[in-house]
Amino acid sequence: MSFRHQYVIGDLQGCYAAFQQLLETLDFDPAQDKLWFAGDLVARGEDSLNTLRDVKALCEQGAAATVLGNHDLNLLAVWRGATKIRKKDKTAPIFAAEDRDELLEWLRQQPILAYPDEHTVLVHAGIPPHWTIAAAAQYAQQLETQLKGSLYQLDRILPHLYSKKADDWHEGINGFTKIRAIANYFTRMRLCKQDGTLEFSFTSSLDDTMPDDFLPWFEWQVPRERKILFGHWAALKGKVDLPHARALDGGCVWGNYLLAYRLGDGEVITSSAHCATP
């Protein structure tokens, strides 16, 4: 299908009012346009439930697609009893909703990596320097298979996705450790070494002091055949725009704005509304 416009939108985080306002600014028409979401559909905004409902409805119309972020995986883990709702998250209404299971069954079927067009690849946090995009797609599929499997399989994998310490990637990595490492690269990564070693504590801007030998994953010079579109790192405020990488989390939930990156010409449209969370 040919679309009038396609937009890639950074982390919604349940900022429903800002999302609706952004759609008005885009003059979005689900019959002609398509949205791609960079994950973290839910969490700390004022209305994660209706945000999730709207994104699901748009995806089922063929007017949208999404990848999964760390807050989306956490939502699934809370649903299945693998962890508890974090104090800062405002996702409790999802679990009280009559359509809870329908929403979360749909969510776990969504991909980790997607190709919005022939020039780009979309993930939540990034792709580490020691993976090609083709390899990343294969690893994403391995994680997706675990998430989309039986509920028994899902319940086995979810508790193993959490660790304060990053796992080292090596040739013999396997089992739960491998799946957790894959999830960490795609949904939690900010800084890493060139060999893919991750560092989880740094969440600041590029102007702040970073641990020795670590760089933002996109600063390692690796040839890429597609531009990597990513969210996750709110402190960047969407200001990183490199030939091989484009940041799209505008930090709306932190008092900034939602960003929409128009495929084709690369123009970025900003919401005029902040997150409505008090």
Strands 120-122 and 259-262: unpaired
Backbone torsion region of residue 103, taken as left when φ is above 0, otherwise alpha when ψ lies between -120 and 50, otherwise beta: alpha
User: Which residues of the chain fall below pLDDT 70?
Assistant: 278
- Domains belonging to the chain, first-starting first, are 6-270 (3.60.21.10)
Does the predicted TM-score (pTM) go above 0.85? yes
pLDDT, tens digit, for every residue of 51-84? 999 999 999 999 999 999 999 999 999 999 999 9
Round to whole Å and give the CA distance between 58 and 21: 16
What per-residue confidence (pLDDT) applies to 164?
A: 80
pLDDT of the residue at 163: 83
Q: What is the predicted pLDDT for the residue at 274?
A: 82
